[in-house]
Structure 1
Amino acid sequence: MPVDVPQPPAPPAGPQTTPERKSSVAVLDRPAADTPWVTLVWNDPVNLMSYVTWVFQTHFGYPLARAEALMMDVHTKGRAVVSTGTRETCEADTEAMHGYGLWATFQKDD
């Protein structure tokens, strides 16, 4: 006696199409550039102003006048934006500032 074996459904009638591939580059739903992010250094009661100036010169390569201006922003305004760039760059700069003993954070710039 033959056994009835279920068959897969028949393909839909009509023309079959396949998606067109326009390029070999994947496109993600995200902004074109991952910028701007900022690294902030915050005022603290521990580090000397001369040390903070030295850190800005040493790590970022800022000239003395720029490093002193940023240090004064930290001292008088409570914080200063010391670098801008991609998230990865600002995260690395923040970790470097922690390595120097400074209080620092990074965030997306508004």
Structure 2
Amino acid sequence: MGGLATPDLDSSLEHDLSQQPPAAWQTVVWNDPVNLMSYVTHVFRSYFGFDAATAHRLMLAVHHDGHAIVARGPREIMEAHTQAMHDYGLWATVRKEPS
């Protein structure tokens, strides 16, 4: 053809995507009729490393509001947190943070 150079669309797309911040996701812990409030507080302190006041505040949100957002970040990390909550016997989900 006439020797016109065409941009490498794949590499420019990859470059554009790498410049964008990762999408924000949330790990949400939901209330359940099984786990004691003290146990939920213990899980939040031991797994996430929250101080006692933060863990207690989040546990009360779960208890009174039905759920609490316990972490925000990249989807893969939120999925790992959600699996860990399941391993502790808590009900948790991952959801995309509203924009």
TM-score normalised to structure 2 length = 0.86
- Give the direction of change, closer, same or farther, for the CA distance of 1:32–1:50 in structure 2 (3 Å limit): same
Report the equivalent of 1:16.
3
Q: Taking CA–CA contacts closer than 8 Å with sequence separation of 6 or more, which of the two structures ends up with the larger relative contact order?
A: 2
2:63 to 70, 75, 96: 75
Correspondences of 1:1-110 after superposition (within 5 Å): 15-20=2-7, 25-28=11-14, 32-110=20-98
Choose 66-75 or 26-35, whichever is displaced more. 26-35
Q: How many pairs were matched up? A: 96
Q: Could you say what secondary structure the match of 1:27 adopts?
A: helix
Q: Which of the pair is proportionally richer in helix?
A: 2
Structure 2: state its 5+ residue gaps. Answer: none
| Mapped partners of 2:70, 2:7: distance in 1 | 46
Give the secondary-structure state (helix, strand or coil) at the position aligned to 1:55. helix
Query: How far 1:36 sits from its partner (Å)?
Result: 1.1
Unaligned 5+ residue runs, structure 1?
A: 1-10
Aligned-residue identity in percent: 48
TM-score, normalised relative to structure 1: 0.78
Q: CA RMSD in A?
A: 2.3
CA offset digits 1:37-72 (Å, max 9, x no partner): 000000000000000000000010000000000000
